[in-house]
Structure 1
Amino acid sequence: MSQSVTIEAEKPVKPVPTAIDLREEFESSGVKDVLAELDRDLIGLAPVKKRIRETAALLLVERARKRMGLAHETPTLHMSFTGNPGTGKTTVAMRMADLLHRLGYIRKGHLVSVTRDDLVGQYIGHTAPKTKEILKKAMGGVLFIDEAYYLYRPENERDYGQEAIEILLQVMENQRDDLVVILAGYAQRMDRFFESNPGFRSRIAHHIDFPDYTDDELFRIAETMLGHQNYHLDRPAADAMVGYIAKRRTQPHFANARSIRNALDRARLRQANRLFETANGPLDAEALSTISAEDILASRVFTMPGNKAAGLGKGDQ
């Protein structure tokens, strides 16, 4: 009895392109959308946005070279974000994760944000499992380590941060095709951290500095934050907010957009209390949505000199 033999047809080999339209790739990959979202969501930060666009261009070109069969090498994608608190580092890291995913440089595109406490244990044998568990969660995406310099505490002989550093360095080198690490923190402290841990500096190709916001940018940020919550400043309140920003940024613990968010939270609290105590009847949407000058001017910022405002920055402003 004869047996029939099934012969699978060979799959056609996709031809190697001889030319690639980078503008078309920019749009079809979704990178254009990510950068537009970055421009729309983040006020200011012009030098940061410029570096992100340059990085996106590099990755697009490298991807095009790979498709055309040209010699290529996956660029080192580990990064360092330096700047003061509240300058958008975490937000930019999220957009970077999305961008890298759309271009095929990471599998998932998620961001895992951690600090020292998430990586370093408190006793012998505790650090390695903690660090490896975080790395497992971050694989295929981006690991964002805020205030990374706290991993290294040379003044404490019994500190276990060095163990976490060694594990991170090994993974950053051996699994760089499946994980991007972004270290973040104050510029001067990060410089000292890199001097003490040259292994990190050699593995990081992109160092991006986040400038402080200007007064005008902080005011626009305030208006945007309020707008997202369907609040707005009346004209006297807008003038009061301008004065608040000028005074607050000269005082201790100023944290850029973070300080503005805290100030607005307090202003909304004062507005709610004012309405509750003074309303004699039903309130319309305009009344419920308007921040008045008195809600801003009640801040301690207007009564305390900068050198005596040490308590500001973490709550009541």
Structure 2
Amino acid sequence: MDATETPAITATTTAPRQLFESSGVKALLDQLDAELIGLAPVKGRIRDIAALLLIDKLRQEQGLQSQPPSLHMSFTGNPGTGKTTVAMRMAEVLKQLGYVRKGHLVAVTRDDLVGQFIGHTAPKTKEVIKKAMGGVLFIDEAYYLYRPENERDYGQEAIEILLQVMENQRDDLVVILAGYKDRMETFFGSNPGMASRIAHHIDFPDYSEAELMQIAQLMLRRLNYSFDDGAASTFSRYVSLRRRQPHFANARSIRNALDRIRLRHATRLFGSDEALTRGQLCTLQAQDILASRVFHPAADAVQTEGARK
């Protein structure tokens, strides 16, 4: 066929739903649904992106004009809202659809990219990019790369290298920048080059108390633990109190709380002189939760004050 001829176009394509299932993307998104409670707006955006890529594949089959869409993203939200997990699944989706070669995730922070002396930043940044090629580079708290108050800061050098790679090698690397929403907006406002390369902005909402309880139950089931009736209602009170305290990190704080509850449960059982039943080994009780400092703010305040003296 002459190079100037239009490619032959077939009458029909693969059905989108059939391609959705046969590509493995449906299974990956179903897995995301199963492992993350809530986050309906986030999951909806990920499905929208998957749909865009699938239709792009069908257009290619028909010889239609097809240009790989820009896939660099910004994930904003508080800690513990599932940003890293969604980034991992996004990498797998891109691999299944042939948009990246490997489908792995490389998660880094400023310290992995920026050096402390002249000539150190470029090699560090390029080494990280080399590891991430063929997959997704996830930069958490990306705004720390830019520190305008320090004229000798080397973060800008890392940003410039990232900008070049995001533009010139976007067919083999997807960059996801993550962090608090207000700080990310400030970062993009100060770095228009970076802002112009981000095609998808996805905000991760905080979990509701009901969703946090579902997350706790899911985590416990995976570990073969459960709450008895008293423990379930007590932990619900714990969640309500803990959400109002500083440094609450959504699912991350729930996981940490369950680790401490399991520790108290183990300590309680360790003192037993009798053989333990399977039920005892698996069941958490209210007393394992009530020992938390969340229920004893006055005692915690006294301890804090004593530490200051």
Equivalent of residue 145 in structure 1, options 130, 139, 148? 139
Equivalent of residue 27 in structure 1, options 21, 26, 47? 21
Equivalent of residue 215 in structure 1, options 209, 218, 230? 209
1:285 equivalent in alignment to 2:278:
yes
Separation in 2, partners of 1:87, 1:18: 45
Separation in 1, partners of 2:301, 2:62: 63
1:45 equivalent in alignment to 2:56:
no
Separation in 2, partners of 1:147, 1:18: 48
Separation in 2, partners of 1:114, 1:17: 45
Matched letter for residue 104 of structure 1 = G
Separation in 2, partners of 1:154, 1:288: 54
Name structure 2 gaps, 5 residues minimum. 1-6, 305-309
Is the contact made by 2:77 and 2:179 (CA closer than 8 Å) also made in structure 1? yes
Hey, what does 1:299 align to over in structure 2?
A: 292
Identity %: 68
Name structure 1 gaps, 5 residues minimum. 1-13, 312-317
1:272 equivalent in alignment to 2:266:
yes
CA offset digits 1:144-195 (Å, max 9, x no partner): 0000001111111221100000000000000000000000000000000000
After superposing on structure 2, the runs of 4+ consecutive aligned residues of structure 1 that deviate more than 2 Å are 14-18
Separation in 2, partners of 1:97, 1:25: 18
1:17 Cα deviation after fit: 3.6
CA offset digits 1:42-78 (Å, max 9, x no partner): 1000000010111111111111101110012110000
1:76 equivalent in alignment to 2:76:
no
1:254 equivalent in alignment to 2:239:
no
Summarize the Cα distance change of 1:59–1:308 in structure 2 as closer, same or farther, 3 Å threshold.
farther
Secondary structure in 1 aligned to 2:153? coil
1:232 Cα deviation after fit: 0.7
Secondary structure in 2 aligned to 1:207? strand
Matched letter for residue 160 of structure 2 = E
Q: If the length of structure 2 is used for normalisation, what is the TM-score?
A: 0.93
1:16 Cα deviation after fit: 5.1
Hey, what does 1:115 align to over in structure 2?
A: 109
Separation in 2, partners of 1:200, 1:286: 54
Hey, what does 2:149 align to over in structure 1?
A: 155
1:15 Cα deviation after fit: 7.2
Separation in 1, partners of 2:135, 2:293: 43
What is the aligned length?
295
Matched letter for residue 193 of structure 1 = F
Separation in 1, partners of 2:205, 2:232: 24
